[in-house]
Chain A
Amino acid sequence: MKALARFYLLAILVFLYLPIMVMMAMGFNDSALYELPFRFTTRWYVALSGNDQLISAGINSIVIALITAVLATLAGTMAAVALDRRAVRGRTLLQLLLLPPIAIPWLITGTAMLVFFFWTGIGRGMHALLIGHVALAIPYVVLVVGTGLRTIRSDLEEAAISLGSTPLHAFFAVTLPLLTPSILGAALFAFAVSLDQFVISYFLSTPGFATLPVQIYSAIRKGFTPEINAISTILLVGSMSVIVVFAIFARPGGARDKR
């Protein structure tokens, strides 16, 4: 029975990774029409280095993901601390309000942003994308940092206060250092959310300013070439590394040791 179960898990892993592997392999195949047999080449990666459109879209993606990570982590951490450590009226409602950005299909959130930004004159482009990405990332940050806060005992801070520290100083001297792994984890999470975001970016991009997924989508719609495989491979490897780093940072066991 156990052997069967393990075989089944292996089959699931093959199902999850096979198409990704095939896609990556085709980025190293010589044929422009994805024809087999396989002949190794790196020419699609060379061609990519001359594709200014994809490169600038890639830079846009990274810049937006970095700014999103900073802003969302800052705002989200403040909210998480307030929700967990302070007397807040309507706490349940406030926590519930974090769900719509996660639970409503991005298609609806994205089109709503498009309509609102058009109507108010905010328009589309980089600033609009940033507003959208930060809003999507904030709930995740509040959840991750909130989980981290619950593993840190609040009486440590109280002890510092009773020994004459101000509440603000107690927070920065006691709680914040303990919370740093969670905050870093949340920042990486926000970075990954922004880097992989397609739907919202799609509606808020302009012809002059697009992120990598948006550019990849329009390339796929036009008819694809192995260059797309090459850039997709880079994007996948990039976001997978971010998440693996996140998994190492935010290990539940690691947080428990610091009580």
Chain B
Amino acid sequence: MPADAIIRPAASPSGAAAGHRLPSWFATAALLMPTYGWLLIAVFLPLCTMLVFSFMNATPMGRAPIVFTLKHYKAFITQPYLVGIAWDSLVIGFWTTFLCAVLGFFAALALARATIGRARETLLILILLPFWTNGLVRVFSWTMVLREGGFLDTLWHALLPEAGSIGFLYTRPAIVLGLVHGYLPYMILTCYIALVTIDDAIIEAAQSLGARWWTILTRVLVPLALPGLTTGAILTFVPVIGSFMEPRILGGRVGVTMGTVIEDQFTQAFNWPLGAALSFTMLAVILAIFATFSGVLRRNAGGVA
């Protein structure tokens, strides 16, 4: 890097001593300071504090002495109902990710292979646009569609006037539907980035060798799109596991997930140490997922290259 060559002499001790100019590392540090200082105060120190809190006996209020304990990390053993909630959250996360992957992969495939130029650009922006609008408002929109006597019901009754209601607001499928709606654009984008680089010649070669569309799909397209699918799956699964507003609004009484349990500890039950311990357990699960799949991703990259 030629840029470094210009900077480096000044960084040497002689350069710093040579004149009134500040040493180069000082300027670099000053440029980096605002960003990393801010992240330290707003993200990293809070996470460390919460880790400390997770070992406390109770929320430190007033003059009560602080006692350190591991009991909140044993909550899954002492409060067995949490295991059921954790399982439900994982199931919701799994279904959301699975549906996003299937719907998103084919949407990305259609986008990459059946559209060109302007139309493709416009479609991509249209697909990504909802992602940058308020998630809360989009979840709220679904209540308009799914409630009893809502849009879906009205449509259904226009076809079959005598039929009962098919509105399924306040059920688990409603939560999954809302979450899929929220994260599908992400999956389409990551799959599209992987698929758009595939050379037409590869598919033509497969066709000319007699491969049917099913073979091309499973032996060529899916393996080549796997990094995009994996990235999309992680980007979907992680926030879904931590969601609490979607289950509350779309799930009503059945919408109890790890996210809502953690939120309760901070806003209702005022048991911050338990909330912190559950958060860090969740974070550990997420990191384990990252670690597992980063290995898979690297192997894929190696295999393709």
Contact = CB atoms under 8 A, between A and B. Distances in A.
Given A16-B184, A85-B3, A5 B109 contact: yes
Interface of B: 1-4, 6-8, 11, 24, 27-28, 31-32, 34-36, 38-39, 41-47, 49-50, 53, 103, 106-107, 109-111, 113-115, 123, 125-127, 129-130, 132-138, 140-145, 147, 149-151, 154, 181, 184-185, 188, 213, 238-239, 241-245, 248-249, 259, 262-263, 266-267, 272, 275-276, 279, 282-283, 286, 290
Those 8 A-B pairs whose CB atoms lie nearest each other, nearest first = A105-B242, A135-B42, A116-B46, A5-B110, A5-B114, A75-B34, A23-B141, A79-B35
Contacts of B127: 12-13, 16
A78 B103 CA distance: 40
Contacts of B8: 87
A76 B37 CA distance: 12
Interface stretch (A39-47, A176-184, A234-242): A234-242
B113 A5 contact: yes
A227 to B, nearest CB: 12
B286 A105 contact: yes
A106 B263 CA distance: 11
A36 interface: yes
Interface in A59-107: 74-76, 78-79, 81-83, 85-88, 94, 97-98, 100-101, 103-107
B130 A16 contact: yes
A151 interface: no
A78 B35 CA distance: 8
A198 B107 contact: no
Contacts of A142: 35
B133 A161 contact: no
B291 to A, nearest CB: 13
B263 A107 contact: yes
Contact of B129 (A105, A109, A213, A243): A243
Name the residue in B44, B110, B242 with the highest tally of chain A Cβ atoms < 10 Å from its Cβ. Answer: B110
A19 B138 contact: yes
A158 B110 contact: no
Contacts of B132: 192, 196, 239-240, 243
B268 to A, nearest CB: 12
Contacts of B259: 105, 107
B137 A111 contact: no
5 contacts: A22-B151, A79-B34, A108-B262, A132-B42, A224-B143
A155 interface: yes
Contacts of B275: 111
A135 B43 contact: yes
A113 B140 contact: no
A256 interface: no
Nearest to B153: A36
A232 interface: yes
B18 to A, nearest CB: 15
Name the residue in B127, B132, B249 with the highest tally of chain A Cβ atoms < 10 Å from its Cβ. Answer: B132
B144 A19 contact: yes
Given A239-B132, A247-B125, 4 more contacts: A9-B107, A13-B126, A75-B34, A105-B286
B133 A239 contact: yes
Contacts of A202: 245
B133 A196 contact: yes
Interface in A22-51: 22-23, 26, 34-36
A32 to B, nearest CB: 13
A258 interface: no
A244 interface: yes
B239 A105 contact: yes
B106 A8 contact: yes
B136 A217 contact: yes
Contacts of B154: 36
Nearest to A106: B242
A34 B283 CA distance: 40
A16 B205 CA distance: 35
A59 B39 CA distance: 26
A167 B52 CA distance: 45
A27 B45 CA distance: 43
A198 B136 contact: yes
Name the residue in A23, A35, A100 with the highest tally of chain B Cβ atoms < 10 Å from its Cβ. Answer: A23
Contacts of A87: 4, 7-8, 11, 24, 28
A41 to B, nearest CB: 16
A105 B43 contact: no
A91 B249 CA distance: 42
Contact of B110 (A9, A115, A247): A9
Contacts of B136: 198, 213, 216-217, 220
A236 B134 contact: yes
B34 A78 contact: yes
B158 to A, nearest CB: 10
A8 B110 contact: yes
